[in-house]
Structure 1
Amino acid sequence: MVAVGKPVAEALPTTLKTVDEFEQWERQYGGEGSYEFVRGRIIEKNEMKQAEFLILKFLTRLFTQTSAYAQGDELAAEMDSYIDDTRKRRPDLAYYTLAQIEATRTGERQKTRFAIEILSDSESYQDVLDKVQDYFDAGVQLVWYVIPENQKIYVYNSPDASQGYKGTDVISAAPVVPDMQFVVADLFA
């Protein structure tokens, strides 16, 4: 699904420096695509594949059973997460509290506290590292990188340390959503 794809090539401005400039360009010329903006680079995100949709369905339905969901928080697909004035990412799934969601009414830009990415064929190892670093630069507490081909999930609690989970391992979204946990094999069943 959504991973860092190739930078958009057709007639792109090369002078964009900020997220504000990028969003102005996107409103005028962005078209139908989905984009991230990272320090002057416009990155087109790939469309979701059906196999990835099953992963998103499993995770979002699991989230609806948590106390965070009961209090109005959301696990949203493809929602903007602002890193700083020069970076905006779009995680495959991003967690936002009710207070964050309500703050968007006034135009306040939000940063996710928990990002879930699904590795795509076009992503390099460097792309993964860059995304993880960006999320932690924004103050995220937890990043999951789902690797469908290997039926594994890498959990990052910092940009420099990850732990892999597979098979009968139990994964948890603590400390952000402590009651969201499951056996990894169930995600890929």
Structure 2
Amino acid sequence: MSELPHIKTKKTLANVAEFEQWLSKKKTDYNYEFINGQAIKKQPMKQNELFIVTFLMDMLMTTELFANKGRLVPEIDVYIDEYRKRIPDLAFFTAQQIKQARSGIRVVPTFVIELLSDSEGYDFVEEKINDYFRAGVQVVWYLNPKKQNIHLYLSASEMRVLSGHDTCSAAPAVPDFELMVKDIFAV
């Protein structure tokens, strides 16, 4: 697997604020992550992943946090620090975080879901996981649709591979969001 391509800019971008200013002038339909001066084109979710995403969003509707206006949001900016910005496939925000974001405060989701892309190599994935936990994310699910398994991270160094009848939980971020892995990948 190869790494995602970096986008060449005419000058080195110093930080996320400068990157976002550069991006606002660029006419593009693509999303970009920003990592230490480099713009990285984010591959959009594929239509064949739609069933996974809609299933996860539907199942979240059964949780207490959803009843209290928490939401799972697709492809939204997650600011790691002033030099790094990621865009996870799905990110969970509490009602309070959504209100804070509305008032201009940058918030970090408590729970992130990524779908493994063919273009993502191990080092790239590991760097993303480290970034999420450095920013304050509590739980990361990295889904591999081809292998029909989930890498469940509770910290950057604590990971379990789940498959089949294993139960995958988003606790402590979303305590009552638990699903059997096989159900996530069912057609």
TM-score, scaled relative to structure 1? 0.94
Name the CA distance, whole Å, in 2 between partners of 1:168 and 1:30: 45
1:13 Cα deviation after fit:
3.5
Amino acid in structure 1 at the alignment position of 2:129: V
Which residue of the other structure, out of 98, 110, 113, is the alignment partner of 2:110? Answer: 113
Which residue pairs with 1:179 in the alignment?
A: 176
Name the CA distance, whole Å, in 2 between partners of 1:168 and 1:179: 18
Compare 128-137 and 100-109 and name the one that shifted more.
Answer: 100-109
> Would you identify which runs of 4 or more consecutive aligned residues in structure 1 move more than 4 Å?
none
Compare 43-52 and 85-94 and name the one that shifted more.
Answer: 43-52
1:94 Cα deviation after fit:
0.3
Which residue pairs with 2:66 in the alignment?
A: 69
Amino acid in structure 1 at the alignment position of 2:103: T
- For residues 120-175 of structure 1, what are the alpha-carbon distances to aligned partners after superposition, in whole Å with 9 as ceiling and x for unaligned? 00000001000000001101111110001100000011101210000011111111
- For residues 45-85 of structure 1, what are the alpha-carbon distances to aligned partners after superposition, in whole Å with 9 as ceiling and x for unaligned? 11221221111111110011110100011110001111110
Which residue pairs with 2:17 in the alignment?
A: 20
**Match status 1:144 vs 2:115:** no
Which residue of the other structure, out of 95, 98, 102, is the alignment partner of 2:99? Answer: 102
Give 1:30-109 correspondences, 5 Å limit.
Answer: 30-109=27-106
**Match status 1:123 vs 2:120:** yes
Amino acid in structure 1 at the alignment position of 2:5: K
Which runs of 5 or more structure 1 residues have no equivalent in the other structure? none
1:30 Cα deviation after fit:
4.9
SS in 1 for 2:132: helix
SS in 2 for 1:100: helix
TM-score, scaled relative to structure 2? 0.95
Which residue pairs with 1:160 in the alignment?
A: 157
Q: Number of matched residues? A: 184
